[in-house]
Amino acid sequence: MMQFRVRELMVSLEYQENDLWEAAARRLRISQRDILELKLVKRAVDARRNSLHFTCSVDIILSDRVSLAEEILASPQVSCIKAPEPVELAAGVQPLEWAPVVVGSGPAGLFCALFLARQGYRPLLVERGSDVDRRIRAVEKFWREGALDASANPQFGEGGAGTFSDGKLTTRSGDRRVDFVLQTFVEHGASEEILYTKKPHVGTDVIRRVVKEIRAEILERGGEVCFDACLTDLDVNQGSLKRIIINNEVEIPVSVLVLAVGNSARDVYRLLQRRGISLTPKAFAVGVRVEHPQGYVDQVQYGDFAGHPRLGAADYQLTYQDRESGRSLYTFCMCPGGYVIAASSGEGQVVTNGMSYLARDSGVANSALVVTVTPADWGHTSLGGVEMQEHLESGAFSLGGAAYQAPAQLLGDFMQHRSSRSLQGSLATYRPGSLRPISGNCCPKSWVRYWKGEFAAGTGQ
């Protein structure tokens, strides 16, 4: 049997599975009867022309008796499928005295512990926050009452920041492990649609179930998971890590330590610096969250097809190059049919994020509008970026009224660099509480000046 991938098959929004078989056979100039199996592997909305349709890629298995024409085989839209290489772990040459320890149960930590468990290593996964059920209760209380729990919040706890987010699974990487990640999500409760949609979306409600199922497999395979277990110190002797200290009292000997702590574990980065660990600063992005009526976005993107049940809530992407500053302004983590949420993890700090449920049915779209900042903006010091984040988030906390409300203004006022007198009638979905109008500036260089104490603007993640 021969296996091929056939790309860029155009089908209508109302297509049925048989339409894919027919389109593939027509592309290959063969009979449908010659196709033994067909699997949809990619589907994207194509709205570039006057009509709107799906563009699909399929994997097919052909009968041995079929012979494809040379011009078909030479087409970039048709290629032979090679057997996928398994994702394997390169084993070491020395036995481990102690089981591997993974710190942090966000996506990186969960998948690391899961993979190690599947290889028989019985890892120990430690998480400073709580399990997802207790964490949900703490976060809901924070959004309702403005009472922040320093260990159970939208950043810390089982699943990491992704537990309270849009649940998008996107990457520009062609890494072969992408399919492994998507398949693992499906195995633990996500919809099979994420295997073929161009921009896979799980939703915060489904993610919460998935992370619990991943934890269950780790335990079933002999691993351990400890919550409310914060890494507070490292015992480093002659350049070798001997043990870690949890909650300032529990000592755990280690042979291998994996830090998967996320960008908000600032105390861990300071700990590493104190213990002489080399740290390299990286660029990141700062900005604001902007909200629009979802129906407006749908209409702009889909025209007369807006509201079609197979399309769902539309997204968008925006980029802009500021010639004067040389910085790029762009949208990030666009969240159709979602909410802007308080994603704070530190007391007296406000940072926002976008979150949506699987249905994406809030009626409001939001996106982060950000500009990249680089180590040059903080003098290339190891923890200058951390200090910049804390400065911005503390400033946002003060501007919002010091009660975890977020500073905000109407988009039109933001673009015109003027204060908003009232937010009455706005689409603001942010929790907790009401939002306080501020003045601001949308120019990228203004957000960098705020870090230097020269200008006040909102902050976002």
pLDDT in tens, 40-97: 999 999 987 668 999 999 999 998 888 999 999 999 999 998 877 777 778 788 889 9
Please state, in angstroms and rounded to a whole number, the distance separating the CA atoms of residues 428 and 436.
11
Mean pLDDT across 258-281: 94
**Contact indicator for 187, 220 with CB cutoff of 8 Å:** no
- Give backbone dihedrals phi and psi of 172, rounded to 5 degrees, phi first: -90, 0
Structure tokens at 24: 């593939």
pLDDT of residue 416: 85
Structure tokens at 460: 């976002």
**Contact indicator for 254, 150 with CB cutoff of 8 Å:** no
User: Which ranges of 165-286 does DSSP label H, i.e. alpha helix?
Assistant: 177-187, 204-220, 266-274
Is-above-0.85 flag for pTM? yes
Q: With H, G, I as helix, E, B as strand and everything else as coil, classify residue 360.
A: coil
Does position 242 have pLDDT exceeding 60, yes or no?
Answer: yes
452 pLDDT tier (thresholds 50, 70, 90): low
445 pLDDT tier (thresholds 50, 70, 90): low
Residue for token pair 């924070």: 142
- Write the CB contacts of 375 (distance below 8 Å, at least 6 apart in sequence): 281, 282, 283, 381, 384, 385
Give the 3-state secondary structure of 69-102: CHHHHCCCCEEECCCCCCCCCCCCCCCCCCCCEE
**Contact indicator for 123, 113 with CB cutoff of 8 Å:** yes
**Contact indicator for 338, 166 with CB cutoff of 8 Å:** yes
Flag the least confident range among 169-183, 259-273, 313-327, 333-347.
169-183
Mean pLDDT across 302-331: 91
What sign has the CA pseudo-torsion 380, 381, 387, 389? positive
Does position 319 have pLDDT exceeding 90, yes or no?
Answer: yes
Quote the crossing angle between the two packed helices 107-118 and 177-187, to the nearest 10°.
90
| Class of the CATH domain delimited by 2-80 | alpha beta
Structure tokens at 178: 């992408």
Residue for token pair 């520009």: 172
What residues does each domain of the chain span? Answer: 2-80, 101-274, 284-451
Q: What is the CATH number of domain 101-274?
A: 3.50.50.60
